[in-house]
Amino acid sequence: MIITMGNRPDELRALLDSVAKQDGDRVEVVVVGNGSPVPDVPEGVRTIELPENLGIPGGRNVGIEAFGPSGRDVDVLMFLDDDGLLAQHDTAELCRQAFEADPKLGIISFRIADPDTGVTQRRHVPRLRAADPMRSSRVTTFLGGANAVRTKVFAEVGGLPDEFFYAHEETDLAWRALDAGWMIDYRSDMVLFHPTTAPSRHAVYHRMVARNRVWLARRNLPALLVPVYLGVWMLLTLLRRPSRPALRAWFGGFREGWTTSCGPRRPMKWRTVWRLTRLGRPPVI
């Protein structure tokens, strides 16, 4: 499942070619034009063109439903960025094997590597101990543009939060999945090539990150942990010394997160808090 803004036709075609070359059974593909026409795609690739940009989670949720309610027509859905490229021919087969071997595995996060240097950015390793991107492990979140999700997870806990539009929607789903008993793996042997970029390239980055961080806490954390989690992230943001305009946007988003609806609140169980802690990332950081 791929969403596109229609502005990367060459990269999209290369990605689709890499999917078509996967070993094993043919991978069914849907491309969602998120408020834009879908560029030419190979025969057999399904397309959906949305009249407006629904954001990343909204666009992906439409793609999920293309495979039936909660994606139930298939066992697993891969989500890939339209400017990425599957580095190897066995990624889909490795996914099948991983999910078959572990019935409680709900989500796999792929390793993202720069196609020219092979380097994996630290922020692309979804754990606190990120110095060695070649080490696979259990984790508590996943990367939105390079992952695979068992569709039973969507059926049990719901899809991505549409209202987030951009940023932290993966962690929201990850926490709900973990609270329902599913596990998440980071796999270094499943690789998506993707050019090295900075998340702040998006004009809305600082506001969305702050707003959605508040929403994430309000929706998912026990009441006692909400101020701790948000206090830690405010401190980390200040220590990173963003520019004055970026900081102004961040505090505007933080305020917006408290004054607007975050959607349904379903605080995780305290045993899930303990599970996150044992996995190396307590939900306060």
| Mean pLDDT for the stretch of residues 242-248 | 92
Query: What is the Cα–Cα distance from 80 to 60, expressed in whole angstroms?
Result: 10
pTM for the model:
0.96
Neighbouring residues of 115: CB distance < 8 A, sequence distance ≥ 6: 85, 87, 193, 194, 195
What's the pLDDT tens digit per position in 25-73?
999 999 999 999 999 999 999 999 999 999 999 999 999 999 999 999 9
What's the pLDDT tens digit per position in 249-275?
999 999 999 999 999 999 999 999 999
Average pLDDT, the chain: 96
Distances (CA, A) of 110 to 172, 192, 255: 18, 7, 33
Q: What is the pLDDT of residue 37?
A: 97
Query: What is the Cα–Cα distance from 116 to 18, expressed in whole angstroms?
Result: 17
3-state secondary structure of 187: strand
141, 171 contact by CB (below 8 A): yes
Q: What is the pLDDT of residue 253?
A: 97
- Amino acid code (one letter) for 10: D
Query: What percent of the chain has a predicted confidence (pLDDT) above 70?
Result: 98
Distances (CA, A) of 188 to 27, 38, 193, 218, 223: 21, 31, 12, 32, 35
Q: Any idea which residue has 């960025």 for tokens?
A: 81
Distances (CA, A) of 250 to 50, 106, 169, 282: 30, 32, 17, 23
- The upper half-sphere exposure of residue 254, i.e. CA atoms within 13 Å in the direction of its Cβ, equals 14
CA angle 217, 256, 175 (to 5 degrees): 20
CA angle 255, 228, 142 (to 5 degrees): 85
